[in-house]
């Protein structure tokens, strides 16, 4: 993503806004991680990112399908499962 933002293909003002959005999201992920495990290390934040970004993408957004209630229930179950195993110690 950073390569794309530096490539010149994305206007500078948009690239700046996207970087600011990334920083804001990381801040939110850190807050969530601290509230769950009192941790802000890379492993803990990565688990939060998995739950907020990767799982929804995989279960709800792939192939641009409409999310049905069962898909939302699967996502909720997947997030609970991921969060039930704390991040490994650093």
Q: Would you say residue 56 lies in a domain?
A: yes
Distance CA 78, CA 57 (A): 12
Q: Would you say residue 64 lies in a domain?
A: yes
Q: Which two tokens stand for residue 23?
A: 């920083």
Q: Would you say residue 90 lies in a domain?
A: no
Q: Would you say residue 78 lies in a domain?
A: yes
Q: Would you say residue 34 lies in a domain?
A: yes
Measuring CA to CA, which residue among 87, 3, 88, 8 is closest to residue 51?
A: 87
Range of the domain at 50: 2-84
pLDDT for 80: 96
Residue tagged 């049905």 (tokens) = 68
Q: In residues, how long is the chain?
A: 90
* pTM for the full predicted model: 0.80
The predicted-structure confidence for 1-40, as pLDDT tens digits, reads as follows: 677 777 778 788 888 898 899 999 999 999 999 999 999 9
What is the count of structural domains for the chain? 1
Q: Would you say residue 89 lies in a domain?
A: no
Query: In this structure, are residues 50 and 33 in contact, taking their beta carbons and an 8 Å threshold?
Result: no
């Amino acid at each position: 993503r950073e390569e794309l933002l530096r490539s010149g293909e994305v206007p500078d003002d948009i690239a700046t806004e996207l970087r600011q959005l990334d920083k804001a999201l990381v801040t939110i992920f850190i807050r969530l991680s601290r509230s769950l495990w009192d941790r802000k290390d890379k492993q803990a934040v990565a688990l939060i990112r998995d739950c907020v970004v990767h799982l929804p993408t995989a279960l709800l957004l792939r192939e641009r399908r409409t999310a049905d209630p069962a898909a939302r229930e699967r996502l909720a179950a997947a997030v609970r499962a991921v969060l039930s195993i704390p991040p490994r110690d650093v």
